[in-house]
């Protein structure tokens, strides 16, 4: 009888460990999602800042509202990162901005290449 209760206890322990592992994994995924969202806010803030001088007045007003909110949120993120000494968000932000800038450059180059190709065809 004693062996059966030990086995049942071991089974419960394994199930508890699996549940704990799953919840740790879920927590990791949640934290990653939060960090990605916060890094995207920082990217949005930087991107809006670079665009705010190139659009019509109506669009500028909308950008300025977005930029103001993004900057306020970014300040809170930076405060949090400063107190925890966690560079995760900053690292994700850097990687995202690098990818965004690279994609922008590739798009510009593709546009220039297509324009040059069409000019060369029309000159032929």
Provide the pLDDT for residue 105.
92
pTM higher than 0.85: no
52, 67 in Cβ contact below 8 A? Answer: yes
Strands (E), 10-122: none
Provide the pLDDT for residue 106.
94
**Residues 96, 97, 102, 103: what is their CA dihedral angle, to the nearest 10 degrees?**
70
Provide the pLDDT for residue 122.
76
Provide the pLDDT for residue 19.
55
Averages of pLDDT over each 10 residues, the chain, 124 residues: 60 61 79 82 79 72 78 78 76 90 92 86 73
């Amino acid at each position: 009888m004693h062996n059966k209760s030990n086995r049942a206890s071991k089974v419960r322990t394994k199930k508890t460990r699996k549940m704990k592992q799953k919840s740790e994994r879920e927590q990791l995924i949640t934290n990653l999602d939060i960090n990605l969202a916060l890094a995207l806010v920082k990217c949005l803030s930087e991107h809006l800042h670079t665009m705010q001088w190139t659009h019509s007045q109506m669009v500028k007003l909308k950008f300025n509202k977005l930029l103001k909110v993004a900057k306020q949120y970014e300040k809170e993120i930076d405060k949090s990162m400063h107190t925890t000494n966690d560079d995760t968000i900053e690292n994700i932000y850097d990687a995202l901005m690098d990818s965004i800038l690279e994609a922008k450059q590739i798009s510009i180059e593709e546009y220039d290449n297509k324009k040059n190709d069409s000019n060369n065809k029309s000159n032929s």
